[in-house]
Structure 1
Amino acid sequence: MSFHQKPHTFVSQVALRVNNILKSLRFYEEVLGFQVLTKSSMKAVLTADGKTPLVTLEQLSSPEPKQERKTGLYHFALLLPSRAALGEIIRHLVKTGYPVQGASDHLVSEAIYLADPDGNGIEIYRDRSDANWEWNDDEVKMATLPLDAQAVLAEATNEKWEGLPAHTVMGHIHLHVADLEETRAFYEKLGFDVVSSFPNQALFMSTGRYHHHIGVNIWNGRGANAPSEKSPGMKYFTIEFPDEEKREVVVDRLKDIGAVISKEDQAIFTKDPSQNQIKLVVQ
């Protein structure tokens, strides 16, 4: 079952501010295996299938050092179509020598973690079948266990690295926020349900009983401030709604709570209580 298409609401893209777009492009093309969809001197749009945007890189004009202990991106997560694909990218990273920061079995998924040249966190994962996820009423069971990397590598079939599979999608986004309950109330207005929680640490939310489309945590400190817009990091992430009616319902709810709303072409922008910017689009 796909949790990243109609009738679900889901995260589909992320836009990043970077210090050096040429250095970032080398990483995203050569290490991660993205294709360039469009490119200018200040901006590049990246894709896995040659047509669907997943990551946008925007060059900062006067970059400041990356700020720590702020709200913003913890990681964005690329969902691969199979365990074999995860094995192939692990083997590729081993060959290139690019450092992996972690590897975990989350019960619902298997994942590896790394960072781009600006320190933006990236998860690359594959889902286990949702038929095997364990639910306790409305909460899905997740954990952080060691990844059986040898078993994953054994699934890899293609000897030659050919980049990200065409069916790679933006699986979820995980954010640093200032307050969990305030954040929970905001994303519930967007139509997301809490499906897993770690009290006083993190919440995981989704539509359609996915294990999570959005994760949030207060690991950078309760009450953390937003980073400077001149600092490398996330500019915005995109949420896709199945139709205009559902988006309009959400926009009305956001207006009711006093959220800032702006429009740009066919997109609508807002910010969560921690100043993480969100682009609301219709599929």
Structure 2
Amino acid sequence: MGFHTKPTTFVGHVKIKVEKLERSIKFYEEVLGFHVLEQTTSSAKLTADGKISILSLEQPENVVPKQRGTSGLYHFAILLPERSDLANLVVHFRENGIRFAASDHLVSEALYLYDPDGNGIEVYADRDPSGWSWVGNEVEMTTIPLNIENLLTSQVAGKSWRGMPEGTVMGHIHLHVADLEKAEELYVKGLGFAVVNRYAGQALFFSNEKYHHHVAVNIWNGVGVPIPPDNSVGLKSFTLIFANEEARQDAIDTLKKVGAAVTEENHTFITHDPSGNTIELAV
């Protein structure tokens, strides 16, 4: 469908901070079925296919627990290739006593849970985009209970959850911000996304190439919330993948026009949204 491949601009990778690296690795391996691609004493890169990392864990020095009432991560969202993969994950969760929530968003079906540090995780499967309902430039989304038993009918006989399947990608990221208007300016005017849903004056959903959303922001932690300290559990950064060098440079130029600083560190271009969420700009 092209929503997570070039030339679409999409979230390719998320880095989160955790309190105890080994505990987190065990969770992401055993509960979600990731594999460790690379590991140091303070970080680990996780993969679904054994080749590309879509999620990294980092244990900061003097780490402190996740701070309430701040900007930062609401959840990152892992997109599975097939509905049957999501059904298999439900069975895996049930068999292992893993607590989760489940929602139907019309455009997708989703499971929600937290890692041991309280970082929010969504795992979802998209419905066919031909069935998404668009009113003008906005896609219809909602949150209603997921029909688990109907989902389980998509299971393939003889197959069970054997970890994150090949083809799994980072589907989107959802952030707490301090100000919706300032966030919109950064993500739309600065980064070139389009607003595809405005939710009750509380949240905005941004996308490229008519996806239901690649990035979402909300003010559910409060308007004007502070930025969490660097050594706290939560979001370290997320990476946007641009089609080519020219597209990235265009984004850098427009970011500067809206007053956002862009720096280069070790050949990586980095910016921050107005609420302090760190964004790496990659090709």
Query: TM-score, normalized by length of structure 2?
Result: 0.97
Mapped contact 2:185–2:258 kept (Cα < 8 A): no
Q: Which residue pairs with 1:229 in the alignment?
A: 230
Residue of structure 2 equivalent to 1:186: 186
Q: 1:75-119 CA deviation, whole Å, 9 max, x = no partner?
A: 00000011100000111011111111x211100000010010110
Contact conserved, 1:238 with 1:280, CA < 8 A, in 2? yes
Q: What do the CA deviations read for 1:124-159 (whole angstroms, capped 9, x no partner)?
A: 000001011000010001111110101112212244
Provide structure 2 residue ranges, at least 5 long, that are not aligned to the other structure. none
1:30 maps to amino acid: E
Q: Aligned residue for 1:119?
A: 118
For 1:55 and 1:134, the matched residues in 2 are separated by 31
Separation (CA, whole Å) in 1 of partners of 2:267 and 2:126: 32
Equivalent positions of 1:55-204 (< 5 A) are 55-100=55-100, 102-157=101-156, 158-188=158-188, 189-204=190-205
Task: For residue 204 of structure 1, give the secondary structure of its aligned residue in structure 2.
Answer: strand
Q: Identity over aligned residues, as a percent?
A: 50
Q: Is the 8 A contact 1:179 1:222 kept in 2?
A: yes
Q: What CA distance in whole angstroms lies between the structure 2 residues aligned with 1:215 and 1:68? A: 19
Q: Which moved more, 1:257-266 or 1:103-112?
A: 257-266
Paired residue total: 281
How far apart, in 2, do the equivalents of 1:51 and 1:159 lie? 23
Retained in 1: the 8 A contact 2:264–2:270? Answer: yes
Instruction: Answer whether contact 1:266 1:281 (CA < 8 A) is retained.
Output: no
Moved more, 35-44 or 148-157: 148-157
TM-score by length of 1: 0.97
| Alignment match, 1:20 | 20
Distance 2:237 2:160 in 1: 34
Give the Cα–Cα distance (whole angstroms) in 1 for the partners of residues 98 and 2 of structure 2.
31
**Which whole-Å CA distance do the structure 1 matches of 2:65 and 2:76 have between them?**
21
Q: Secondary structure at the match of 1:155?
A: coil
Which blocks of at least 5 consecutive residues in structure 1 are unaligned? none
Task: Give 1:261 deviation, angstroms.
Answer: 1.4
